[in-house]
Structure 1
């Protein structure tokens, strides 16, 4: 014997009924078929019985009956007239029920049970007649004659002993192959109608499977089974092939809507496998729920529940008071309020628990009434209830044995921007839950999913600035997609902005973004970024600043506080005031965000990383000197070879080695910012104004006017520089634009360096830094390499981006 249950979505129209009939008749084994009401019928019945206006109620009912009449007409059933009479009779019966309901001062829940289960009654009758018309021996069975339930009339639970007695006394025709029965409804001990509550039809099917000792229960719905996440939240959510009873019950309790916990109880009692399948995808295998499963993933799924209220009770009364918890939860049980989650401090001074938001008002009144005396005596603090909360849960048998899963879960929530207000782990150790604010749910949910189920390490990029460096970075991300995928890395460009507008797309790394940006009229604001981040669509969201804008750098603390990582080539923030420098780092620390800026100093050279490694190993740096401008390295190298300065600057500008206005390089401020950043990395508390800065251009030279005016006047200094270089050459020395930090003093300017100086050979766009320390003295540690151009800078930024990726030590979902 098999039991099959079909939901309302499977029976939405005549095509659905025919499809269900096809699924049923494809089975050769004797089967019990339990059905829900057709789609939206139960909601309509709720609206009908609660509508005060009789005319409006009649219109609702008339449309409902007409829809079922149309359904019968389309199915070509032999007993159409019989069904039409049945529908007419039900319409008259429901109108009598409506009048009785609205004329009585007392609500009759038995009558409501009759009304609200009408949909199941009608759909089961229609399916029964359809199967008969197709020549299959069928029998219609009233569930009320078999299932006996107890408890609240509209939320009853089965009495399996009483139901089993009725089942065993039932005599069915010997030639019947299919038994059709309505779900959702049962009868109480007095024989009056009652309902099995939410997901009642699934529960009905599980009860019948238990009673008839079925070898299988199949729940047919409009999804392919149970997923490892909500497909409405996670596009790439994956189907779980098999899951244990215990895991399924935990998952169902914590918000997975495919199956209800009470459905599993009756089949678990007898070890009957339950399969969830899709009525519209017959070839999909579905999800099997059984005593044990072949799927050994340590974490099976992530789930969530919204519209939760978190109740906190604290005070001295709770400490060592026998029966305190019993009073709290007994009081709530008396008012039929379910407790979803409990978290208690080890000191017993406080307890917090989660309830449904709809129960908040009743819970507050009940608890204040129960503990009024304790509050008057200040033995309890005022009841604290925080609404608009959500619960995020991971479920899996791996939580029992595997170390580190809980910490990864909580870290993922935090990195998703969530503030964790309560934590609870089930006594079964199959789940761990955390309470967070509703508005934090989506990004946190995505981050948890990525941590446990996305084998790729992912970063979503918001690129600000698409000039030479920004455009080259995007090109590198685009060209490296295949290689990165092979490494298990997913680098996605989600947004690109220039100084005026932005464009966003799910896969900008795979399209030509320039036309999109040219056509865009969307202006980027902090509010826009905040809303995008809170949409929950992004994993490891990272802002990449490829601008040189002070306005953009002024927002760094805000970006980090929002929850973005930050990678920047823009030196303005790290060379701004010390107060802002500290503020940015405080934001990164407070929100556990990454802030990387290697390219601030050496483009693609790992100068900052190397210095940090030296300091961490216990080395002490005494002084630093360096050539920190690839542009000036290139220009001065050409001058040393005999090319006039004006021509060297023009050549560097044409090749993109300088800023659009070369004065931004020649004035030395860019180098000054770099040496200041290096000094601060070494712990110096210095400002930009503390630097002794000499421009490369000689004093008295008029560098004002437009860029063109400046370039036309630049030959006036060619002779000056020729004289300087000739003088240096006569001493077997060279001229370099050097930045240094020694004895707490910063200086930047043109220096004459001898042949034995570590910076003597640096030219052609190279950067170099010589570090004198306890470990490296008298011979310095030297880092050098190409330091000019968009390619190396973009490469350095890319390297920083990859550092934001989480390290994968364990594949927890495999």
Structure 2
């Protein structure tokens, strides 16, 4: 084996020698003016050294611009051509243009990525798998076809392919030696994988020359010298690297030609102090760009990618995430640490040394300005701001939000830890020795417990190590336990401008509370650049949307799902449509209807839609998909709005059984459906307990008096200390109309028929005349008064003759009802003789804890006796309102307009509780 490895090293040395002879540098001696030096800053980057021999080297700080292009930007011949055009235009504008390129990626899914092919070939060769030859064939085909499409000058094509094929043969020989040895080393792997950048840089320079502009490529291994760092990355030896750059510029005559010649360097690769090829590890090409930018003291460094810039949150999780105009280096570090698509912290260090802005831009959307990362992104606030100002449109104190999912919280707790020096050190030293990385730390000032987060796959090892380390302390009771809380996630809010600004943390946690998200742990550094909190993994998406909405939307935004697009549902949607603009303008309330579901079908927003079009929803609903309640709920919760509400405009008992699940998911519920609150008492109590013990709201004003404020009046009386003695009311608009119209000269059946024709009754009038609907309202009010009562506990005087209760159809019922007019006529005549009127009422006797529904008689001067039309009327007899001075609420109690209006009022109450102005 040793002889095989030695053979491999010999092959590598010979091939490097051949490579140096095959592509010698062009030499030109030039004299340059003195270099510009920037003021010292925080990062430890060495100043450029003078070139030996008295030559000038690079003219730094004189308008250089660095452009780095990732693999997707050079994934096809069309994209490479576009990259070259961009560099040429930059150079033609008088800018000293310096490009850094990655290995070719792909433009179409399924094509081979150059770096992947090189890695695969190395792994296969080390495993003695002859299939590594197939990877080399892919590489040859990809680069040959690309070069033939781009290099229009035959000499350029011949030169490029000659060099390429010679290097490919070098690799083939190396891989063959690896296959014989059955092994590889990191140095060999780095040497192989770096060829992708070599081929791209050389190709881009040739393409630019074919386009009639001067260009040269630079092998970064001839310039950059790096050493391994403790964190797995590399540190740059700037003194030697700057000297190498000066030598190269002097040798090639780049110093005076920078404004009319494009220079293109390889990304990702470098060399060790011993001269061994290596890579810059993670985000290596970006790091190359900022290193070269710092060495040139460039004006700007532009990182061209496939996204518009850095977003305020992951746009895949938050539809309304915005592309940030700027970030400070500190903010970029924080966001990057928590997994946001930003530069790696090490990548920004070289640029920081000379205060060079690093701009992230989208190569595929060059109209987008991108995100500039620079020293400071101050917000002019005019002094200390209050929480109202914090939410103004002109400032964003939280720049971005990022998440880390799949973390476990480990808590080390015990009274024996208090005041004991070295406990924290012992905890974290143990975790380090177990090979676990701590993501977040939180400790109470009492020192009673230390809480920290690790990645979930490291949790078991950390707990095991801590239990072993503190075995004696646990046995003695000094440490209570080492506990792990699984299925957690971290939400980080980052922004240097929230430093010393009152109210920012309060706003963040208020948003989480309103979204019904429980916070497990909190951490905030003294710098106040970052507020970090741990929540349940199942709540992380909701938490992210809630906090983002609070700081970026400047409105109370709610996604709305409606169940039951019948008469009331349609009316509510129309009322919402008419008020949406005014709500946004006057109250900062943004209602977004995202889903509508009926008995058999539903309409949901598409992936690119923020809300349904309320002008055309009915036509779309008619073509809707089969109803799937889980998909309906997911649409409401995943819509991107920080708050969600479902409105149940149906009369379905099955739908009402979903309320508990909705509330537990943090979805607010508004309904005029009486089935939940008048159904089984245990279920009603569960709903109310969820409402009381969370920030989720459950409003149901429309269940009793349509648009009348019955429940809110009752609650206001009780909350103010009044005692309810009795509630009595005419709760049915249908029965109110019937008995307000019915007189001694009328036939009861004829009045019922007229009410049915006017649309006051249900399709089957027995549903109204049975009194069940009134009984449900009695049960709801009784329960609001604290009476534990079931529907069957309420005696109901039915107005449906017993013989007609079981007839097959509504038509048959209406046909036979006249046969029973005499019974009602006798009651009406008896009341008239006493100067009274018949009224169908529901009664809640709070003192005796009972309820009833019955036909009663009232004098003409009683408020109930003076009722007309289809109005409802409810009387509250309380400790304060007694005798003839009871509190009376009267008004329309039926009809789609008033019912929908009452429901709409409840929706706006939800918005008010969520932060909208009253």
Any conservation in 2 of the 1:602–1:767 contact (CA below 8 Å)? yes
Aligned to 2:452, the other structure's residue is in SS state: strand
Contact 2:584 2:590 in 1 (8 A): yes
Instruction: Name the residue aligned to 1:606.
Output: 709
Q: Alpha-carbon deviation of 1:522?
A: 2.6
Deviates most, 569-578 or 156-165: 156-165
What is aligned with 2:193?
A: 116
1:38 corresponds to: 104
Match of 2:399 in 1: 300
Please say if residues 308 and 362 of structure 2, whose CA atoms lie closer than 8 Å, have aligned partners that are also in contact: yes
Looking at structure 2, the residues matched to 703 and 754 of structure 1 have their Cα atoms a distance apart, in angstroms, of 35
Q: Could you tell me which residue of structure 1 aligns to residue 150 of structure 2?
A: 75
Moved more, 377-386 or 24-33: 377-386
3-state SS, counterpart of residue 361 of structure 2: strand
Structure 1 residue 789 displacement after superposition: 1.4
Alpha-carbon distance, 1:687 to partner? 2.8
1:435–1:48 Cα change, 3 Å: farther
CA drift at 1:807: 5.7
1:773 pairs with 2:848: no
Alignment-derived partner of residue 749 in structure 1: 854
Which among 736, 742, 751 is matched to residue 639 of structure 1?
Answer: 742
1:786 Cα deviation (Å)?
Answer: 0.6
Specify whether residues 528 and 322 from structure 1 end up closer, same or farther in structure 2 by C-alpha distance, changes over 3 A only.
Answer: same
Change (3 A) 1:122 1:382: farther
Q: What per-residue deviation string (whole Å, max 9, x for no partner) do you get for residues 186-205 of structure 1?
A: 22332323322221211121
Deviations, residues 499-518 of structure 1 (Å, cap 9, x unaligned): 34434334445365556555
**Match of residue 614 from structure 2:** 510
Shift of 1:647: 2.0
CA contact (8 A) 1:156 1:194 kept: no
Q: Which moved more, 1:718-727 or 1:449-458?
A: 718-727
Alpha-carbon deviation of 1:798? Answer: 1.7
From 763, 786, 808, give the equivalent of 1:683: 786
Pair 537,288 (structure 1): closer, same or farther in 2 beyond 3 Å: closer
- 1:22-33 matched pairs, under 5 angstroms: 22-27=85-90, 28-33=94-99
Distance 2:683 2:734 in 1: 28
Does residue 275 in structure 1 map to residue 359 in structure 2? Answer: yes
Structure 1 residue 699: deviation in Å? 6.7
DSSP 3-state at the match of 1:432:
strand
1:29 CA drift (Å):
1.8
Contact 2:595-2:636 within 8 A present in 1 as well: no
Q: Hey, what's the Cα distance between the residues in 1 that align with 2:401 and 2:552?
A: 9
Name the CA distance, whole Å, in 2 between partners of 1:65 and 1:737: 91
> Does 2:79 align with 1:16?
yes
Structure 2 CA distance for aligned equivalents of residues 374 and 41 of structure 1: 55
- Relative to structure 1, the CA distance from residue 181 to residue 382 in structure 2 (aligned partners, 3 Å threshold; closer, same or farther) is farther
d(CA) in 2 for partners of 1:483 and 1:538? 19
Asked if residue 2 in structure 1 is aligned to residue 2 in structure 2, the reply is: no
In structure 1, the residue matched to 2:542 is 443
Q: Could you tell me which residue of structure 2 aligns to residue 93 of structure 1?
A: 170
Q: Bigger shift: 146-155 or 441-450?
A: 146-155
Matched, 1:156 2:255: no
C-alpha displacement of 1:530: 5.7
Q: Deviations over 1:613-644 (max 9, x none)?
A: 22222222222221111111111122148542
Kept in 2: contact 1:696–1:737 (CA 8 A) = no
**Residue in structure 1 matching 2:573, options 471, 474, 480:** 474
| Post-superposition offset of 1:787 | 0.8
- State the partner residue of 2:136: 61
User: Kindly tell me: are residues 188 and 810 of structure 1, through their superposed partners in 2, closer, same or farther at Cα, counting changes over 3 Å?
Assistant: farther
CA shift, 1:595, in A, is 0.7
SS of the residue 2:131 aligns to: helix
Give 1:63 shift.
Answer: 0.7
> How many Å apart are 1:461 and its aligned residue?
2.6
Equivalences for 1:188-267 in 2 at 5 Å?
A: 188-267=272-351
Q: Distance in 1 between matches of 2:581 and 2:827?
A: 51
Report the counterpart of residue 21 of structure 2 in structure 1: none
Report the Cα distance in structure 2 between the residues aligned to 1:320 and 1:89, rounded to whole angstroms.
69
Q: Is the 8 A contact 1:759 1:770 kept in 2?
A: no
Task: Select the residue among 46, 49, 57 that pairs with 2:122.
Answer: 49
Q: Is the 8 A contact 1:443 1:536 kept in 2?
A: no
Moved more, 300-309 or 252-261: 300-309
Give, in whole Å, the separation in 2 of the partners of 1:285 and 1:516.
37
Distance 1:372 1:776, change over 3 A: closer
Distance 1:19 1:702, change over 3 A: closer
Give CA deviations for 1:418-473 in whole Å, capped at 9, x if unaligned. Answer: 45433222342112222334443333322332222123423223322233223332
The reply on whether 1:432 has 2:524 as its aligned counterpart is no
| 1:206-231 C-alpha deviation (Å, 9 max, x unpaired) | 12222222222211222222121222
| 2:561 paired residue number | 462
Cα pair 1:416 1:446 within 8 Å, conserved: no
Change beyond 3 A, Cα 1:564–1:17: same
CA distance in 1, matches of 2:494, 2:910: 27
Check 1:284–1:83 CA distance in 2 against 1; reply closer, same or farther (3 A cut).
Answer: same
Conserved in 1, the CA contact under 8 Å of 2:201 and 2:218?
A: no
CA distance in 1, matches of 2:616, 2:568: 17
The answer as to whether partners of 1:101 and 1:108 remain within 8 angstroms in 2 is no
The higher radius of gyration belongs to 2
Unaligned runs of 5+ in 1: none
Q: Residues 397 and 130 from structure 1, CA distance in 2 versus in 1: closer, same or farther, beyond 3 angstroms?
A: same
- Residue 66 of structure 2 aligns to a residue in which SS? strand
**Contact 2:547–2:642 at 8 Å: present in 1 too?**
no
SS of corresponding position for 2:490: strand
Q: Is the 8 A contact 1:442 1:534 kept in 2?
A: no
Closer/same/farther in 2, CA of residues 366 and 752 from structure 1, 3 Å limit: closer
User: For residues 280 and 321 of structure 1, what CA distance do their matches in structure 2 show?
Assistant: 58
Report what 2:626 is aligned to. Answer: 522
Q: 1:666 & 1:810 partners in 2: Cα distance?
A: 42
Is residue 744–residue 829 contact of structure 2 (8 Å, CA) maintained in 1? no
Work out which of the residue numbers 623, 645, 653 in structure 1 matches 2:756: 653
Aligned positions of 1:107-146 closer than 5 A: 108-146=185-223
Q: What is the Cα deviation at residue 167 of structure 1?
A: 4.4
1:489 aligns with 2:567: no
Match of 1:179 in 2: 263
1:578 is displaced (CA, Å) by 2.6
More displaced stretch, 40-49 vs 321-330? 321-330
Shift of the 457–336 alpha-carbon distance from structure 1 to 2, 3 Å rule, reads same
State the 1:730 CA deviation.
4.1
Q: Give the secondary-structure state (helix, strand or coil) at the position aligned to 2:818.
A: helix
Q: 1:790 aligns with which of 873, 893, 896?
A: 896
Deviation, 1:537, is 4.8
The answer as to whether partners of 1:310 and 1:353 remain within 8 angstroms in 2 is yes
TM-score normalised according to structure 2 size: 0.81
Q: Distance in 1 between matches of 2:376 and 2:471?
A: 49
In the alignment, the residues of structure 2 paired with residue 232 and residue 602 of structure 1 have an alpha-carbon distance, to the nearest angstrom, of 43
Q: Residue 147 of structure 1: SS of its match in structure 2?
A: coil
Measured against aligned partners, the alpha-carbon deviations of 1:658-693 in whole angstroms (never above 9, x if no partner) come to 222211211112112212211221222333333342
8 Å Cα contact 1:138-1:176 kept in structure 2: no
Cα distance in 1 between the residues matched to 2:700 and 2:769: 23
Q: Greater shift after overlay, 337-346 or 608-617?
A: 337-346
Are the equivalent residues in 2 in contact too, given 1:440–1:534 (CA < 8 A)?
Answer: no
Residues 95-142 of structure 1: CA distance to partner in whole angstroms, max 9, x if unpaired? 344445556687522222222322222212212222233343434323
**Compared with structure 1, are the counterparts of its residues 338 and 105 closer, same or farther at alpha carbon in structure 2 (3 Å cutoff)?**
farther
Return the match for 1:284 from 368, 371, 375.
368
Distance 2:564 2:200 in 1: 61
Rate the CA distance shift 1:642–1:83 in 2: closer, same or farther, 3 A.
Answer: farther
2-side partners of 1:490 and 1:737: how far apart? 42
Closer/same/farther in 2, CA of residues 301 and 702 from structure 1, 3 Å limit:
closer
Q: Which range is displaced more, 64-73 or 105-114?
A: 105-114
Q: Kindly tell me the number of residue pairs found equivalent between the two proteins.
A: 810
Say whether the 8 Å CA contact 2:556–2:916 is kept in structure 1: no
Find the residue that maps to 1:34 and give its secondary structure: strand
Asked if structure 1 preserves the Cα contact closer than 8 Å seen for 2:571 and 2:896, the reply is yes
Indicate the SS of the match to 2:281.
Answer: coil
